[in-house]
Structures are given as structure tokens and as C-alpha cells.
Chain A
Amino acid sequence: MAWYFFRRVLQMIPVFIGATFLIYFMVFALPGDPVLAMFGDKTPSPAIVAELRAQYNLDKPFIVQYLLYLGGLFTFDFGTSFSGRPVSDLLASAFPITFKLAMLAIAFEAIAGIAIGLFAGLRKGKLFDASALVVSLLLISVPTFVIGFVLQYVFAVQLGWVNATVGQGAPLKDLILPAIVLASVSFAYIVRLTRTSVSDNLGADYVRTATAKGLSRGRVVRVHVLRNSLIPVVTFLGTDIGALMVGAIVTEGIFNIKGVGGTVYQAIIRGEGPTVVSFVAVMVIIFMVANLLVDLLYALLDPRIRYAK
């Protein structure tokens, strides 16, 4: 197990370097000159341009820029954004909010999705199952921003249960509605995945054997159906943690949340290499750690993986 963990961490290193390199290169290759863009319509003096270029290492060849940036990372120097704020400040203000939002979303989709999926799977072909299928299909096919605006209108504007937008410091109660919107599509997939998995497992030979042993129906479902059914669901949840962190741009826009999505979007528009790459680097790390956690959880659920050499 320790060896497995160690190997997985080792694997992260090339992935991290490769991902940051690619992102850095793509930002570098964006058309337009970021320094000139800072001045808008005005034409800056060549001296100031040269100075700014030197300040942001833009005068050096691409590979040198990248290595300087990578070197900075190891000393926790993420560079400075064009607005003059250190990138680390931006990270510190954006990530906690998005993280809170994503965790709420994950909690919602995991708990509600698995519960509804389980009941649908146990009552396959019945009314509950059919409605779960219809609702989940609806959630998957309607774009997130439509669901977002509708829920915002109904619960915030009409019913007044929650605030329409997220206030300063992003308090938890303001984030509940955005989290549900953010989770809606994944929630629908989890319902369907759990349902299929549960109904497949119900037909498994070992479930019949468990029943034949004299176990009660409740115990058979809890012990022999649910755990086995969760294995594919956990895999999905793991990749989804990363996706939720990154994919919150639309939801953050609707509810006016100052999170990662909006910040990165602005940075890309301005061609701010260090800001974009730093955010992406953190996302890559989150993605990899989430995947590692899932694989460990996976091994916990499935001994065949735990003991595989």
C-alpha cells in the first residue's frame, strides 16, 4: 500500500511539469502583445514598454521565461499580476471561495445522488425510478445557466428564501443555492450511475448467495449491494471534484461569486501568463490530489485493488 502511494506521488511530478509547461506555452502563443494591451488605445513610450517587458521576463526566450517561473514556484513565488497584485494574493482570495462552493456541491451530489440512485435501483421500473430517470435526463439536457437563472428567480426573487447573489466573504448560506446549481448535472449522472450499478449488483450471484444465507433484505442491500455499487460512483466523484473546481465559471457568473472561474477568465483575456499558469497549476494539483484520494478510497472499497501488486 505504501509502495502504491509512493508510486502514485512519483507519477504526479511529470504530470505537473507537463501540464504547467503546456499552459505556459499556450498563454505565450496567444495572439497580441500583453504589454501593449495594458495601455489600451494609448501608445506607451518604448522605454516603459522595455522596462515592463523586463519586469515580467517577457524579453527573454520562451523556455527561459518558463524555467524562471518554475523556479519561482519552488520558492512559493507565483509572480505578480499585471495589476501589480502578487498572484499569491489572487490565489488566496479566489480559491477558498471556489473550494467552499465545490465542497458543498460535492456533498450535495454525493448524498442526494447516491440516495436517490439507490432507491431508484431497488425499485427499478416503478414510479420512483421512472421519475428519477426523467428528472435526471432533464437536468443533463438543460444548460446549467438556465437551471441557475430559474432557481435564482424562484427561490431568491419570488420566494425570497435565499439571497440572489453571494455577498462579501461568501457566507455558507449564500452558497447553498449556487452549489446545487453547480452540482445539478453531476447529480443527475450520479443518480443514473448509482441506479444502474445497484440494479446490476442486485442480480449478482453473491447477492443471491447472501440472501440464501438467511440475511435480511436490509442487510443484503446495505452490506452486499451498496458497497459494491459505490465503486464506479466513487470514481466519477473523484474526477468531478476537479471538474467542479474548474467548471464553476458560469455558476460564479450568475451568482456573482468572486471565485477561481472569473479570475482565470479575466487573466486569460489579458494574456497574464503567470496568473493563468499559477491558477492552473493549483488546479492541476487539486485534480491530482483528488484523483489520488479517490484511488485510495477505491482501494479501501475494493480489496482486489488493495492487494494487487
Chain B
Amino acid sequence: MTQESSHTMNATTAPTTGRPLLEVTDLEVSFHTQNGIVNAVRGVSFSLNAGESLAIVGESGSGKSTSATAIIDLLPGTGKVTGGSIRLDGTELVGISRAEMEAIRGSQIGYVPQDPMSNLNPVWNIGFQVMETLLANGIAKSRKEAEAKAIQVLQDAGLPDAGKRLRQYPHQFSGGMRQRALIGIGLSSQPKLLIADEPTSALDVTVQRVILDHLNTLTRELGTSVIFITHDLGLAAERAEKLVVMYRGQVVESGPSREILANPLHPYTQRLVAAAPSLASRRMQAVKSHENVAIAAPTAALDLTLIERAEQREEAATAASPIISLRDVTKQYKIRTGGFKTELFTAVDKVSFDVHPGTTTAIVGESGSGKSTIAKMVLKLEDVTAGNVLVDGTDVTAIRSAKDVLAFRRRVQPVFQDPYGTLDPLYNIAQTIAEPLVVHGVGTAKERTARVRELLDQVSLPVSTMSRYPNELSGGQRQRIAVARALALKPDVLVLDEAVSALDVLVQGQILNLLTELQSEMGLSYLFITHDLAVVRLVADSVCVMKSGQIVESATTDEVFDSPREQYTKDLLAAIPGAGIELGA
């Protein structure tokens, strides 16, 4: 893993136009931890010319963010640059004083952070936060000038009626609007270089695309060089000319994006390319459109899964009566609108669909579309306002006695998004998995332990995991535990609410494969809720696309991907990162 696979046009060599804008050579970053020094970045080199874009790709912990934050000396905690050099326009940035760095931040290097929800100070209005940037970087001399410029900055960032919004606070903005404001702030002083750290990973796909398009336009107009940090290879290849692939603190491959994507040299990059759901889905598309063309190399287990699934779908199409059936289900919430007045908000509006035994139905939609509310109603965690939720023919609303509710819960189990928040940190893994068994009074202590071993085996975790605690496990391992816990009672139905959304691509692929295997082994039915259409193709038999509480399109997965009927579905499909990339099949 130590040698760097290089493509013909090496990213680290300066082209003919002269000195590159940014030159990072042999960068070393280490953190002090209780277990000694951890070298998070080891000998990283890359360079970037004026007006160019570069993406650093890798999974969490690969050092991609650390490398980028080292450039503007914003390393978290005990992080320190311990070697190498970072040159901006020929000026060394490593080891300069705090004041010198303050002069460079904002005005020469802009920064767009990852999570728009936490990166604006909640107690100051948006205008203030833009204006102070302009004043600090000497772009505006007076408050009045700053205000006028701030309106301009926000308008350029794509915020309509910025003048009125200046006095609004972050909590009054949607995620997309906040990210626009942050992009505006990052570009407000017209820096030469912009570092965008996963700038849209917290946003819905359609919003993501609009914002990235806009960022593209802005930086091209201003001639700004951009460094994208991302875990999404599809997004990276689509948005950046150059790619730097990082793994465990080192650069394993770098070069022009398209070249790397078409012909990944390093085994890790090959795995990444194979695992990216957006790209796998795209390959599937390619295979389907030229039936006779064999896949260049069936690199990925995912590709095989895709093909298998397509075959299985044919069989599953004519199944027995549905295990879950929603009939005109509506959910309304009361919202206080000030004073004693309340208003009814319809989260789910007359939704009907079926899930057949042994199949997967995916519900796709953006945040606020009502998809998670459906999950809660199927799980009987929320009451239904109108309509019927039938599980195996029984209306869940009619299940009242504590005993019947327990019996119902035995059959329908959830797996939620956040593998960090859904496992009790004070329970070890054996206790966590055995808890449903204890609650439902299943078996003796000995039998329960045996069952836990069996379940761990099913989710491919070693038995030694039993005595460990959630904080000792990775995100993927935790999500396996969550799946094992859901399976403990041998349910018929799993409700998977964004169950793979928080995971790295490679891990995501593993969990999806695990779910598919478990389904064919045990005949489970899945209600799969996600915002990510790319993932849907890998797991779902049929898809319901939701928008503002209603199902706008409902069909088999192939129909939705091959011939979407609704414009909204087409928008969603087009927004999958990497959808615009041509694969040199």
C-alpha cells in the first residue's frame, strides 16, 4: 500500500504554465492520543494549478480532511503538522505565525465546511456572519459597505431576496440555504483557493446537485481553484479534474479523474470504484443499454448482486398476498402557530402501497417528504390519522392489548440510521443483541447466549465481539450489531430507515450485501427507506418515490430507473452523483 500508483499525467508534476498555485509536498500530520502519537497523514504530496479543481477521496479516517485542514492550519485537537511543506503561490505556510495565517485565511484560502447545520453560529444573524468576514478581510471598510456587499455575496451564492434574509437567523434557513450562505462566506473575499470539505454530503441529492452546479459556476467565473474533500467517488469524478485517492493517511493513487475511474491501478481504488453505489448503478445502466456488451470486468460483488437481483425480481413479481399493505394512510400533526392556535400539517397524505413477502420495497424521497413517518407508522411507533396499515392482514391500529403489541413487535423490527445513537453505550454487544429476547421472555439465559452467537455469525462478526462495547466498534460493525438485534426475534419484516446512509461506501456495500443474503436465506421482507436512489437499485424490488407526503411514482425498480414517468423522479435520478460520467465501457 505504500507505493503510489501514478497515471501518465502525474498530478504532482507542474505543467508548463509555471508554478502551481498550491504545492503540498511530503506532508506529515500527527495527533497526540492516550495511546501515543498517531500519524494521520504520512508523506502526502499533490499540487494544484490556478483555476483547477482537485478532489481528495477516501473513507472516513483516511486523512483526507486532515490533509485539507492542515493547509489552513485548522487541525482539530492535538493535530500538528510534523513535516513537509505547503506552498501557496510559492509562500511556505507551514510554521508561519498565527497572525500571518489569519491574514491568509478567508482572503487567500476560503473554506466551505461539511455540515451546514452546525457551521453557522446560531446566535448571530446571517448578515452579521457574512459582514464580519468582509470586514475582517478588508473587502469592506464600513458597515454600510459591508451590508451592501453581503447582499451581493448572498445573491451570488443563489439566495433569493438576500436583502430581507440578512436579518434572519440560521435556524430560519433550510439546510440548502445555509450551505449557500456558507459558500457565499467562503467565496466572499474572492480567495485564490477554496477548500470544500464534503460541502453537500448533509443535503438532499437534488439540492446537492444544484449547489454543486452553482459552486462550479461561481468558481469558474472567479477563476478560483477548488479542493473537494469527499467520500463519494462519483461526485469527485464529476466535479474535479484531478483525483487524489487517500487510504490510511497516504496517497495511493492520483491523476486525472476520468482516467482513474476508467482504469484504477491501485487495489484500494479498484475496490472504491467497484463499491460506489452511484457508479455501480451507472454500470448497470450501461449493461442494460447494450445487452450484448459484457461488463468490462465484473470487478464488484455489487455488480453481481445487481444482476442477481434483476433476475430475482422476475420471480418475486408474482408473489402471494402482501405482508405489509398501506391503504390511503394519512398522518397529520398539530403544529402550534403562535398563541393557542394550531394548524394541521399533513406529513403523509393518502399513501397506499404493498410489500410482498420476501421482497424489498424502497421508499425514496428527500428530507421532509414523509418517508420516515411511514416507517414509524408501520412500526406502530406513531398513530395513523386516517387509513389502514395492515401487517399480514391485521390492522396495526386495532392491536391494543400489551400482549398483542408485543406479538406484533416480534414480527416487525427496525434498523435505524445512526449506528452511534441506536446502541446503548453502557450495554455490551451480547446484552444489546439479547435485549429483545429478554424483553419478550424468549428462552433461558443459556439459550439466549447461543442465539447471540448464531446472530453474530449471521452478520459475519466474530464471537469475541460479544464482550465488547459499542464505542470499540466501527460504524459498519455497529450497524451489523443493529441488524443482528433486529433479527433476534426472527421477525418477518425489517423496517430499514436510512440504515446505510451514515456509512462509508465500502461498508455500505458490505451491509447491503449482508441484507440481501439474509433476505434470500430467511425470506425476510424489507421496507427500505432512503434518500439515496443509487442504493435503491442494489436492494429494492419495487420503489415508491415520495414528495411532500404523497407517492408520486410507484413501480418496480427497473421501471423507475429505465423509464421514469414523473419529472420529479427524473430529477432525482439525474441528481445521483456521477450520473453524468461517461464510463468507457
Q: CB within 8 Å of B: which residues of A?
A: 3, 203-217, 219, 223-224, 227-228, 231, 301-304, 307, 309
Contacts and interface: CB of A to CB of B under 8 A. Distances in A.
Contacts of A208: 74, 76, 113, 119
A301 B123 contact: yes
Interface in B34-91: 72, 74, 76-77
Contacts of A219: 132, 136
B interface: dominant SS: loop
Contacts of B74: 208, 211-212
A203 to B, nearest CB: 8
A207 B123 CA distance: 12
A214 B107 CA distance: 7
Given A206-B120, A303-B122, 13 more contacts: A204-B118, A205-B119, A211-B105, A212-B186, A214-B103, A214-B189, A215-B106, A216-B99, A223-B132, A228-B123, A302-B122, A304-B171, A307-B171
B121 A206 contact: yes
Contacts of B103: 214
A224 B132 CA distance: 11
A214 B136 contact: yes
B176 to A, nearest CB: 17
B18 interface: no
Q: Is the interface of A mostly helix, strand, loop or mixed?
A: helix
B113 A213 contact: no
Nearest to B337: A309
Interface string B146-187: 000000000000000000000001011000000000100110
The 9 nearest A-B residue pairs measured at CB: A214-B106, A212-B111, A205-B118, A206-B121, A303-B169, A213-B133, A309-B338, A214-B105, A209-B119
B143 to A, nearest CB: 15
Contacts of A214: 102-107, 133, 136-137, 189
Contacts of A304: 122-123, 169, 171
Contacts of A301: 123
A12 B98 CA distance: 52
A214 B138 CA distance: 10
Contact of B121 (A3, A210, A212, A231): A210
Interface in B106-127: 106-107, 110-111, 113, 115, 118-125
B336 interface: yes
Contact of A213 (B76, B105, B171, B337): B105
A205 B122 contact: no
A269 B546 CA distance: 71
A231 to B, nearest CB: 8
16 contacts: A208-B113, A209-B119, A212-B74, A212-B110, A212-B111, A213-B137, A213-B185, A214-B105, A214-B133, A216-B99, A216-B136, A219-B136, A303-B123, A304-B171, A307-B171, A309-B336
B49 to A, nearest CB: 23
Contact of A223 (B76, B104, B124): B124
B339 interface: yes
Q: Which of B77, B110, B119, B189 has the most CB of A within 10 A?
A: B119
B102 A217 contact: yes
B33 to A, nearest CB: 14
A207 to B, nearest CB: 8
Given A217-B102, A219-B136, A309-B338, A212 B169 contact: no
Nearest to A209: B119
Contact of A228 (B111, B121, B186): B121
A303 B107 CA distance: 29
A3 B124 contact: no
A205 B124 contact: no
A205 B198 CA distance: 14
- Which residue, A206, A207, A227, A304, has most C-beta atoms of chain B within 10 A? A206
Nearest to A7: B339
Given A209-B182, A215-B136, A224 B121 contact: yes
A231 B337 CA distance: 26
Contacts of A216: 99, 102, 136
